[in-house]
Amino acid sequence: MSGRLIYLMGPSGSGKDSLLEAVRERVLSAGGQIARRVITRSPEAVGEDALGVSPQRFEQMLAEGAFALHWRANGLAYGIPRQIDEWLAEGRDVLVNGSRGHLAEARQRYPELHPVLLTVEPQELRQRLLARGRETAEEIEARLARNGHVRLDDESCQRLDNSGSLAQTAEALLRLIRGRACA
Ligand SMILES: Nc1ncnc2c1ncn2[C@@H]1O[C@H](COP(=O)(O)OP(=O)(O)O)[C@@H](O)[C@H]1O
Ligand SMILES: O=P(O)(O)OC[C@H]1O[C@H](OP(=O)(O)OP(=O)(O)O)[C@H](O)[C@@H]1O
């Protein structure tokens, strides 16, 4: 039986990378996997477990069919390695740090995916992006503006509020996964 694709979305700064890191050990010990994104950003990017590549290398990987999913946002290119298909075929649940703007395309490839939307109070979101200190003030404003016009009216999305404690959000995500995806 195929594993489930847990497609985590949310505004830049809402805590997707932090949440995936917080649940990583328990997801892996339950036989699940967490996809490592490929991003055209410096490998030193603060607070994320992504593979940083040049735009040229990204295009080469894309041409070689290396990605199961890929999209562009925030002036960057993001890719999800095709390895997730092997994991899913092995019956493993796979968590992906996804994009709200790419959900429709992701659904075309994975009709059974489980969408999870991380939400954060707007003012808290701004503070977190500033505190993370990875983007310039201009890039932060652009991300906040993007959040203002990316609309997700998909009622099937499970919503997780990450405005409070990360540990509590992690427990909520694990309950959600156990409830819907893991035996
Ligand atoms: N529940 C939380 N409470 C306080 N700070 C958080 C919480 N979740 C994430 N953060 C912080 O907010 C910033 C953005 O988190 P990050 O995981 O990079 O978000 P995303 O991956 O969605 O862009 C980071 O500095 C992170 O440490
Ligand atoms: O379509 P959206 O839902 O707005 O998402 C746009 C992009 O931003 C998110 O990445 P992330 O939050 O990790 O961005 P960052 O790491 O570049 O800040 C998400 O993973 C997408 O790659």
Give per-residue pLDDT as tens, 20-50. Answer: 999 999 999 999 999 999 999 876 665 677 8
Distance 181 CA to ligand 2 centre (A): 24
- Is residue 131 lining ligand 1, measured as CB closer than 6 Å? yes
Pocket of ligand 1 contains residue 14 by CB under 6 Å: yes
| Domain 5-177 in this protein, CATH class | alpha beta
* pLDDT: which is higher, 182 or 27: 27
The rounded Cα 86 to chain-centroid distance in angstroms is 19
Report how far residue 70's alpha carbon sits from residue 123's, in angstroms, rounded to the nearest whole number.
29
Cα separations in angstroms, 19 against 76, 86, 97: 21, 24, 10
CA of 98 to the centre of ligand 2 (A): 7
Whether the pLDDT of residue 83 is over 70: the answer is yes
Looking at the CA of 171, name the nearest ligand: 1
8 Å CB contact between 176 and 116: yes
User: In this predicted model, what pLDDT tens digit does every residue of 93-117 receive, in sequence order?
Assistant: 999 999 999 999 999 999 999 999 9
List, chain by chain if needed, residues with CB within 6 Å of any ligand 2 atom: 9, 12, 16-17, 48, 73-74, 76, 78, 97-101, 146, 150
pLDDT of residue 47: 60
Closest to 34 in 3D by CA, of 46, 20, 19, 22: 20
pLDDT digits (tens, 9 = 90+) for 118-155: 999 988 999 999 998 888 999 999 888 888 777 776 77
Cα-to-centroid distance, 1 and ligand 2 (Å): 30
- Residue 162 CA to residue 120 CA, distance in Å, equals 5
**Mean pLDDT within 168-178:** 94
End-to-end CA distance of the chain: 11
Domain boundaries along the sequence of the chain: 5-177
Give residue 181's pLDDT.
45
Long-range own/partner contacts, residues 164-167 (CB < 8 A, 24 or more apart): 166/15, 166/18, 166/19, 166/22, 167/22
pLDDT exceeds cutoff 90 at 15: yes
Tell me the helix, strand and coil percentages in the chain, rounded to 5: 45, 20, 35
Q: What is the pLDDT of residue 157?
A: 85
Task: Give the model's pLDDT for residue 152.
Answer: 73
Q: Which atom of ligand 2 is nearest to the CA of 12?
A: 12
Q: Which residues are annotated as a binding site for ATP?
A: 10-17
Question: How many whole angstroms separate alpha carbon 145 and alpha carbon 168?
Answer: 28
